[in-house]
Amino acid sequence: MKENNMEKIVSLCKRRGFIFQTAEIYGGMQGVYDYGPLGVELANNIKKAWWEAMIYQRDDIEGLDSSILGSQSIFSHSGHEDTFSDPLVDCKSCGERFRADQVPDYCKEEDLTEPRDFNLMFKTNIGPVDDGSSLVYLRPETAQHIFINFKNVIDSTSRTLPFGIAQIGKAFRNEITARNFIFRKREFEQMEMEYFVEPKHDEKFHEYWTKERMKWWLDQGLKEENIELYKVPKEELSHYSKATTDIMYKFPHGTEELEGIANRTDFDLGSHTKSQEEFNIDAKVKENKSSKMKLAYQDKVTNKWLMPYVIEPSAGVERAFLAILNDAYKEEILENESKRVVLSLKKHLSPVKIAVIPLKKNVEEIVNASIEIKNKLLKLNLGRITVENTGNIGKSYRKHDEIGTPLCITVDYDTIEDNKVTFRDRDTMEQRSIDLESLEKDVLDFFRN
Ligand code: ATP
């Protein structure tokens, strides 16, 4: 298989408006990026596909959209204040800082300082006085706000076990070495779901969610040969985890984590609940004297309380974005020996669904007919549809191949005279004539396949 390298993807992202470096005009900010006009569409489509799979297509998961700011109590009891750190070393020769396990070959052992712990959470404060008493954190994961809302969700939805709470949102980590384009950022987005189960069912559901998530990634167009499962060894597990399986992807820079699926046991609910002594909490938790809510589950039949276990699939939007682009990116040599770059994105992910292209940019009738067709098709709610009025049909096809638009519709004199347009399929490059009378049906058929 041909390998795609990172430079090609980075260059496409900049050239076509998927990703821009933040504050480039002021020299850029390391590890922080902006989504451009097409990037925002692709990212939204990824999130929509995840939300649909997690919430709409099932009936056991509720959604949530919580705050990004989190009080110190949350991250004190979650263990993040004490343990959410990476070992940092300084190289006395080059003057750079690295995560101890990511020191480049060019630094010599004797030039490195002893590793010291560096907490990855970003701090800020609430209110006008910054005297330490108003400290808050930008959440380093969306999960904690799901746990602290456990009772609110259960009380408002009457859920019974097993059930889940899903959330998509920003997370912030002051990574020591942010690198590999959008793979490791300081501000990124997570798609996380906490699935609450009876403790005795934890392993069964851990396996179940690992399989479900693998299926989802394949549905997004990732190639099976580029994904593998990795059972995290005991000594590498996070403080809350009994077992974690990572879905690893062959990124352009190497095989690394795309999503983690963790068995968080009763650690989180047990850490945040009040009256900890009333429950048999299996995990080792810090004493909690501040919590005002019982975060446990009362069986509707027996009235007995139990502390659920949690299975958490946690994926990053940016890593999804990079993996999806990497597997969709293709360079083809055509019959006439010219090269075409094409993004074979799954249709539901394509930033632009349809480009309506007037053959002549200055012929009013053709341009107006194109706008009319666009407006008619917009009602189908497929997503973004654009009128591509450059007057150069070859260039328009090349552009839309490169950004992954599945369908181009060309409008010409036949449209005015015979009510015909031309469909051009991105993947096969085949063109066929379509009658305007059946336009909506043909478009829907196209997107169904
Ligand atoms: P890594 O070991 O690569 O730092 P992690 O194990 O710390 O990742 P988790 O805490 O399990 O990551 O976070 C869940 C998911 O969030 C990851 O699988 C990844 O997709 C995403 N993620 C984590 N950190 C970052 C980051 N700095 N930039 C982009 N995505 C991230």
Q: What is the pLDDT of residues 20-56, one digit of tens each?
A: 999 999 999 999 999 999 999 999 999 999 999 999 9
Residue in the block written with tokens 């095989």: 255
Last residue of a domain, one of 290, 325, 360: 325
CA gap 371, 333 in Å, rounded: 33
Number of domains present in the structure of the chain: 2
- Same domain for 285 and 416? no
- Same domain for 248 and 358? no
Residues lining ligand 1, Cβ inside 6 A: 141, 173, 175, 184-185, 188, 190, 257-260, 314-316, 318-319
Residue 64's nearest CA partner among 154, 125, 198 is 154
- Same domain for 216 and 148? yes
Decide: 197 and 308 in contact? Cβ < 8 Å. Answer: yes
What's the DSSP call for residue 2? Answer: P
**378 part of a folded domain:** yes
Phi and psi, residue 103, nearest 5°: -75, 130
Nearest-atom index, ligand 1, CA of 256? 3
**202 part of a folded domain:** yes
- Same domain for 319 and 391? no
**Residue owning the nearest CA to atom 23 of ligand 1:** 316
Nearest-atom index, ligand 1, CA of 314? 14
**165 part of a folded domain:** yes
Q: Is 388 helix (H, G, I), strand (E, B) or coil?
A: coil
Rounded distance from Cα 103 to ligand 1 centre (Å): 19
Residue 379 sits in which domain range?
352-448
3-state helix, strand, coil in the chain (%, to 5): 35, 30, 35
- Beta-strand relationship, 243-251 and 61-64: unpaired
Confidence at residue 2, expressed as pLDDT on a 0 to 100 scale: 47
- Same domain for 168 and 316? yes
- Same domain for 211 and 306? yes
- Same domain for 271 and 400? no
Work out the number of other CB atoms within 10 angstroms of the CB of residue 425: 13
**144 part of a folded domain:** yes
What CATH number corresponds to the domain at position 222? Answer: 3.30.930.10
pLDDT tens by residue, the chain, 449 residues: 445 689 999 999 999 999 999 999 999 999 999 999 999 999 999 999 999 999 999 999 999 999 999 999 999 999 999 999 999 999 999 999 999 988 999 999 999 999 999 999 999 999 887 777 789 999 999 999 999 999 999 999 999 999 999 999 999 999 998 889 999 999 999 999 999 999 999 999 999 999 999 999 999 999 999 999 999 999 999 888 999 999 999 999 999 999 999 999 999 999 999 999 999 999 999 999 999 999 999 998 899 999 999 999 999 999 999 999 999 999 999 888 889 999 999 999 999 999 999 999 999 999 999 999 999 999 999 999 999 999 899 999 999 999 999 999 999 998 999 999 999 999 999 999 999 999 999 999 999 97
**88 part of a folded domain:** no
What CATH number corresponds to the domain at position 367? Answer: 3.40.50.800
Q: Annotate 326-370 with DSSP letters as a single string.
A: HHHEEEEE-TTS-EEEEE---TTT-S-SEEEEESSTT-HHHHHHH
**87 part of a folded domain:** no
Q: What pTM, to 2 d.p., does this model score?
A: 0.96
**237 part of a folded domain:** yes
**Residue owning the nearest CA to atom 2 of ligand 1:** 257
**Residue owning the nearest CA to atom 16 of ligand 1:** 316
Give the number of C-alpha atoms closer than 13 A to the C-alpha of residue 358, restricted to the C-beta side.
20
**312 part of a folded domain:** yes
- Same domain for 312 and 369? no
